[in-house]
Amino acid sequence: MNILFIPILAVLIGYFVRSRLSAVVLFLAIESIFFTFQTLAVFLAWMAGDGGFGGATDQGAFGLTPSGLPLKFNDLDLWLYGLVNFALIAIGVALTIAVVSFRIRRRRKLDD
């Protein structure tokens, strides 16, 4: 979900928001909502035994489907999930800054 959402959001915010700082803050604020929703969707799918978002694997997003409390999960999968999402957010921030910079540079060129 984030893979589809991040480029669209980054380009739109970068194009319509004038300040780089405001654009990045707005991107991070909106992305935090979508990241929370995605994490909850993946977590609930894993707990239900659906194999992750969309049934991607037999083992699920964080290891075998839980059978009771306390939950037992694979630490490596948890850290990799966080690392991949951190990388996606970093790419989104970079894309937002790039679009704002491109728009500012284009406007200056047109004004001259």
Sequential pLDDT tens for the chain (112 residues):
788 899 999 999 999 999 999 999 999 999 999 999 988 888 887 777 766 555 555 566 666 677 777 777 778 878 888 899 999 999 999 999 999 999 999 988 888 7
Give me the DSSP letters along 11-77.
HHHHHH---HHHHHHHHHHHHHHHHHHHHHHHHHHHHHTS-STTS--SS-SSSSPP-SSSP---HHH
Name the CA radius of gyration of the chain, rounded: 18
Is this prediction's pTM over 0.85? no
Calculate ∠ Cα 110-15-12, nearest 5°. 155
